[in-house]
């Protein structure tokens, strides 16, 4: 958790140095981490490239619920969201 907090903090400060277009950049609260098979790396890159469009129709929480269920991950939603 501390590592991700530091990554988010420093990357947010860094991106804001890249111009006025990024002045309002911020990370959403929370995070989720998943591993990816090397054979699925191209799919992940495509997902990231299309993430802005994708999240117009599905939010972070709904996507996490689907990923957890699809991968048989047991979790307690009471502790997942801010």
pTM for this structure? Answer: 0.55
Residues 7 and 37 in one domain: no
For residues 44 and 82, state if they share a domain: yes
Residue 64 vs residues 3, 9, 20, 41, 56: alpha-carbon distances, Å: 20, 22, 31, 19, 15
Digitized pLDDT (tens) for each residue of the chain, 82 residues in all: 899 889 999 999 999 999 999 999 988 777 777 889 999 999 999 988 998 888 899 888 898 899 899 989 998 888 887 6
Task: Give the C-alpha separation, 55 to 59, whole Å.
Answer: 5
Supply 59's token pair. 């939010």
24 and 49 share a domain? no
Task: Spell out the residues 6+ positions from residue 29 whose beta carbon is closer than 8 angstroms to its own.
Answer: 82
Q: Can you give the pLDDT at residue 11?
A: 95
Distance, in Å, from the CA atom of 33 to the CA atom of 13, rounded to the nearest integer, reads 21
40 shares its domain with 25: no
**Residue 24's domain spans which residues?**
1-29
The answer to whether the CB of 23 falls within 8 A of the CB of 16 is yes
How many structural domains does the chain have? 2
């Amino acid at each position: 958790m501390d590592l991700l907090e530091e990554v988010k903090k420093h990357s947010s400060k860094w991106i804001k140095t890249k111009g006025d277009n990024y002045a309002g950049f911020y990370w959403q609260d929370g995070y989720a981490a998943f591993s990816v098979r090397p054979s699925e790396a191209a799919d992940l890159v495509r997902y990231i490239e299309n993430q802005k469009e994708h999240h117009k129709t599905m939010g972070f929480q709904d996507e996490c619920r689907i990923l957890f269920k699809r991968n048989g991950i047991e979790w307690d939603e009471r502790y997942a969201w801010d």
